[in-house]
Amino acid sequence: MAFRGLASWRVARRSSGLGARWMSTWWRSVEPAPKDPILGVTDAFLADPSPNKVNVGVGAYRDDNGKPVVLECVRKVERRIAGNLNMEYLPMGGSVKMVEETLKLAYGENAEFINDKRIAAVQSLSGTGACRLFADFQKRFRPDSQIYIPVPTWANHHNIWRDAEVPQRTFHYYHPESRGLDFAALMDDIKNAPNGSFFLLHACAHNPTGVDPSEEQWREISYQFKAKGHFAFFDMAYQGFASGDPERDAKSIRIFLDDGHLIGIAQSYAKNMGLYGQRVGCLSLLCEDEKQAVAVKSQLQQLARPMYSNPPVHGALIVSTILGDPELKKIWLKEVKVMADRIIGMRTALRENIEKLGSPLSWEHVTNQIGMFCYSGMTPEQVDRLRNEFHIYMTRNGRISMAGVTTGNVSYLANAIHEVTKSA
């Protein structure tokens, strides 16, 4: 018999002494991966036993008691669907209803593109999954292309396009001296990129800087994209967090649509519906016609199938139920506004508290910036001091997640920031 029993194989292996050595070499060359610059902060925070510790690292909303929030509209849906949800697979492209509602948020309630079936869209594993699926799609169908990424950007963008093996270029975005947009350099980079380049844009509430182009500047960007034939891929992880109104926060996208661009969008419900761990999002690509959209969607599904087969069902049902019910949607919109307003209030409080201490520096940018983050301008060394001396945790680029600031910790935070920056 060709097949040797397991027992005799074990004996042979033991007696030769070869197997054990051979087996143990499998992962010998594996070194520990570097800590993630954002999620690694959460790990360090959790490991700190100090009762005074403050986490302003990851961009996750907290209420004024520092507690994670489940929105009331989500609670209501969960009560409604409890026990009624079957656990069947979703289709490869995810929940059709969820995707339909999600497109309305980005493209507009009555967008002609939706009615004309020109959008290829699939449910994604939240915003990260949408970006990754697009990066893989880009690599497969435009294998010689590159992606232009703003400086700075969400750290994970670099990982995503790196793992998809799409070469990365950068374009100017933030101007450290003015703590605003480096619009002239940005426009130059758009002009100087080869025609038909791919650009990653943050649709609103830019992470980490909290600096967005004005409406007028978006129009100029769109115009220049048109002239150069560039492709705009919008990462929209914070729709609703910039202005408190998801409709207003879609302005950049609407400007591009009005100008006739064929764009791509990554959407996420992590932040604006508080569905972080549910991993609900959507990747969409606006196509020339329905036939093209059908083809593109089928290819997106084919990319998804060997990776995760089909996306999770629970969060998608929460989203489609909320957005499909006018009453629930109204509650959601109110709750988004409450979250955005609390953050705006904390910006004012943080700035006032630091200024009250007599800081020699300007902290105007704390209230000028928008969205979930304050790009404080603190150096990595100052951030290290905050962690080591005050148990305050943030990313080393000086980004403060304003969502973690509360009336209870704002003066402690302000004091500590003043301590580490006053002699700078």
Residues that bind ligand KET (CB under 6 A): 38, 58-59, 126-128, 154, 156, 202, 207, 235, 237, 268, 270, 276, 281
Question: CB of 203: closest distance to ligand KET in angstroms?
Answer: 9
Question: Hey, how many other C-beta atoms are within 10 angstroms of the C-beta on 359?
Answer: 17
Question: CB of 38: closest distance to ligand KET in angstroms?
Answer: 4
Instruction: Say which of 136, 139, 154, 363 is annotated catalytic.
Output: 154
Alpha carbon distances (Å) from 205 to 15, 210, 424:
64, 5, 28
Question: CB of 309: closest distance to ligand KET in angstroms?
Answer: 19
Q: What is the C-alpha R_g of the chain?
A: 24
Judged by DSSP in three states, 138 sits in helix
**Packing angle of the helix pair 326-356, 314-324 (nearest 10 deg):** 100
Question: CB of 280: closest distance to ligand KET in angstroms?
Answer: 8
Nearer Cβ to ligand KET, position 58 or 304? 58
Nearer Cβ to ligand KET, position 38 or 318? 38
Q: Are 269 and 275 in contact (CB under 8 A)?
A: yes
Nearer Cβ to ligand KET, position 241 or 390? 241
Nearer Cβ to ligand KET, position 156 or 170? 156
Q: Are 154 and 371 in contact (CB under 8 A)?
A: no
Question: CB of 289: closest distance to ligand KET in angstroms?
Answer: 29
Q: Is 235 a residue of the active site?
A: yes
Q: Are 121 and 285 in contact (CB under 8 A)?
A: yes
Instruction: Say which of 182, 189, 212, 235 is annotated catalytic.
Output: 235
Nearer Cβ to ligand KET, position 154 or 363? 154
Question: CB of 149: closest distance to ligand KET in angstroms?
Answer: 11
Tell me the residue type at 115: N
Alpha carbon distances (Å) from 130 to 62, 134, 200, 214:
25, 6, 13, 26
Closest listed residue to residue 396, CA positions, set 149, 155, 175, 157: 155
Nearer Cβ to ligand KET, position 201 or 414? 201
Q: Is 188 a residue of the active site?
A: no
Element (H, E) at 228: helix 215-228
Give dist(CA 250, CA 239) in Å, integer.
Answer: 7
Give dist(CA 283, CA 99) in Å, integer.
Answer: 9
Which structure tokens are listed for 49?
């036993």
Nearer Cβ to ligand KET, position 119 or 275? 275
Helices (H), 17-123: 18-24, 39-47, 72-81, 96-107, 112-115
> What does the buried/exposed string (b/e) look like for 26-35 if buried means 16 or more CB atoms within 10 Å of the residue's CB?
eeeeeeeeee
Question: CB of 101: closest distance to ligand KET in angstroms?
Answer: 17
Element (H, E) at 266: strand 264-268
Instruction: Say which of 251, 271, 297, 332 is annotated catalytic.
Output: 271
What residues are labeled active site?
Answer: 154, 235, 271
